[in-house]
């Protein structure tokens, strides 16, 4: 079951009128299966997605790039959104849900006192950086992980074009980023506290430290606590970017599980379950620095995101969502480990329990990834090397996925052994990072 022409043809049209083809790198077909990925959806419900030709797929990949932990078109969230729209989603006055959501998020993060809102994770990270710089009075940022597309982050590649390679994406050109920002954002590496200490030896004016709590590697509490200690010692604002990890191991931020106390935490993605909302939560004295700089946007006051987030939190608090997605994530992880072992494949599993990440160690990892996606698509699955587990992934769906994946990886293993893997590739190999498309 390979997609017919409508989605593929529309993508070709899109590249003629939209630079890059769309608004998000992670959704480009070239990141999955160039020339064959269905690209566009007509309908999505639970974990099922229908393309423009009404072909139905089961999503065992990004689930809206990590947004839809409750599944697509969740009934309770949609009900809250419909009510918000019915009452009017925008006005000269503020919507009351903004205050209710702020108070709720503070209840979930006992170390925090204040909240500012945005609509996307990237802009919320930029907002947090602005507040951190405003409070500390220092320009330089040390960071670890992926934090979006904004100037402050891409400025790292002005110093060295490879600076962001190990953070998540290779090949990110800082074209259009003011050269005056060179040296203002400096990367350090997860689990390697010396990489941060080396930065501090050369830069006494680090005012902000931003990092992800966990991504592909197992959580390293000793490292996280060492970073926290350094931030306190040098007076830097410590920001946790939990845009991806939030609402997966804990309602709110996963740092709360480990009694980690940043100065600011950024939440997004799952907070709205597909509706745009992001939050910057922090300590009052630091967050008040937002009053001394200009941070303001009309659509940050729009009602739908707040209504959606309140419904999401209600689902998490009253329906044991976290427990279920951990169990289902472990079902996927253990099942894939058995598959890789039984076929003698050099493939490991990383990431959060509920975001299993397939780490291909074979000599041609992108080729293996592309063929896996290609063959799973034929069987009716949207599949890649990252699986954002949702509450809509039932044990039965996961079992069917694992049975199908076993057959596909068996085929890949046999072709690797015979040296014929490339022969079954039906199109170009997928991209590994940023590449020009047109």
pLDDT at 436: 41
Positions of E strands within 30-168:
41-45, 48-51, 56-60, 114-118, 140-144
What are 369's two structure tokens? Answer: 């990834």
pLDDT at 438: 37
Which parts of the chain register pLDDT below 50?
A: 435-438
- Residue 80, CA distances (Å) to 77, 104, 308, 333 in order: 5, 16, 6, 34
pLDDT at 433: 64
Chain-centroid distance, C-alpha 319: 23
Q: CA-to-CA distance for 426 and 428, rounded, in angstroms?
A: 7
Q: Are 430 and 374 in contact (CB under 8 A)?
A: no
Q: Are 112 and 106 in contact (CB under 8 A)?
A: yes
Smallest Cα–Cα separation from 2: which of 409, 380, 411, 400?
A: 380
Tell me 27's DSSP state: G
pLDDT at 434: 53
pLDDT at 215: 81
pLDDT at 423: 95
pLDDT at 404: 98
Q: Are 281 and 105 in contact (CB under 8 A)?
A: yes
Smallest Cα–Cα separation from 184: which of 204, 206, 213?
A: 206
CB-CB neighbours of 241 under 10 Å: 29
What are 145's two structure tokens? Answer: 């992980």
* CA distance from start to end of the chain: 28
H or E segment and range at residue 282: strand 278-282
pTM: 0.94
């Amino acid at each position: 079951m390979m997609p017919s022409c409508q989605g593929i043809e529309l993508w070709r049209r899109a590249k003629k009128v939209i630079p890059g083809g769309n608004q998000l790198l992670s959704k480009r077909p070239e990141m999955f299966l160039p020339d064959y990925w269905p690209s566009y959806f007509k309908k999505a419900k639970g974990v099922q997605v229908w393309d423009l030709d009404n072909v139905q797929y089961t999503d065992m990949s990004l689930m809206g790039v990590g947004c839809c932990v409750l599944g697509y078109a969740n009934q309770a969230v949609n009900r809250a959104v419909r009510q918000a729209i019915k009452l009017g989603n925008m006005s000269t006055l503020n919507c009351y849900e903004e205050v209710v959501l702020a108070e709720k998020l503070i209840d979930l993060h006992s170390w925090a006192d204040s909240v500012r809102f945005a609509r996307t994770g990237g802009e919320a990270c930029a907002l947090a950086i602005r507040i951190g710089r405003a409070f500390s009075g220092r320009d330089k940022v040390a960071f670890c992980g992926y934090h979006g597309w904004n100037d402050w982050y891409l400025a790292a590649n002005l110093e060295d074009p490879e600076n962001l390679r190990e953070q998540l994406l290779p090949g990110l050109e800082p074209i259009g980023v003011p050269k005056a920002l060179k040296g203002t954002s400096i990367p350090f590496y997860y689990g390697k506290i010396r990489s941060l200490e080396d930065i501090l030896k050369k830069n006494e004016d680090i005012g902000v430290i931003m990092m992800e709590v966990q991504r592909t590697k197992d959580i390293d509490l000793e490292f996280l606590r060492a970073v926290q200690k350094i931030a306190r010692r040098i007076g830097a604002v410590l920001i946790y970017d939990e845009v991806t990890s939030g609402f997966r191991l804990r309602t709110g931020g996963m740092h709360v599980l480990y009694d980690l106390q940043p100065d600011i935490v950024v939440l997004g993605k799952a907070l709205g379950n597909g509706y745009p909302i992001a939050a910057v939560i922090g300590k009052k004295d630091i967050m008040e620095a937002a009053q001394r700089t200009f941070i303001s946007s009309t659509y940050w006051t729009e009602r739908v995101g707040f209504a959606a987030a309140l419904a999401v939190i209600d689902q998490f608090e009253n329906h044991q969502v976290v427990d279920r997605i951990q169990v289902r994530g472990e079902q996927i992880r253990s099942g894939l480990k058995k598959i890789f072992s039984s076929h003698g494949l050099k493939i490991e599993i990383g990431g959060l329990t509920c975001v299993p990440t397939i780490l291909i160690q074979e000599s041609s990892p992108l080729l293996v990834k592309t063929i896996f996606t290609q063959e799973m698509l034929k069987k009716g699955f949207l599949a890649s090397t990252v699986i954002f587990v949702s509450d809509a992934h039932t044990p039965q769906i996961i079992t069917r996925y694992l049975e199908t994946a076993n057959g596909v990886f068996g085929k890949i293993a046999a072709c690797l052994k015979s040296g014929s893997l490339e022969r079954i590739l039906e199109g170009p190999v997928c991209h590994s990072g940023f590449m020009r498309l047109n």
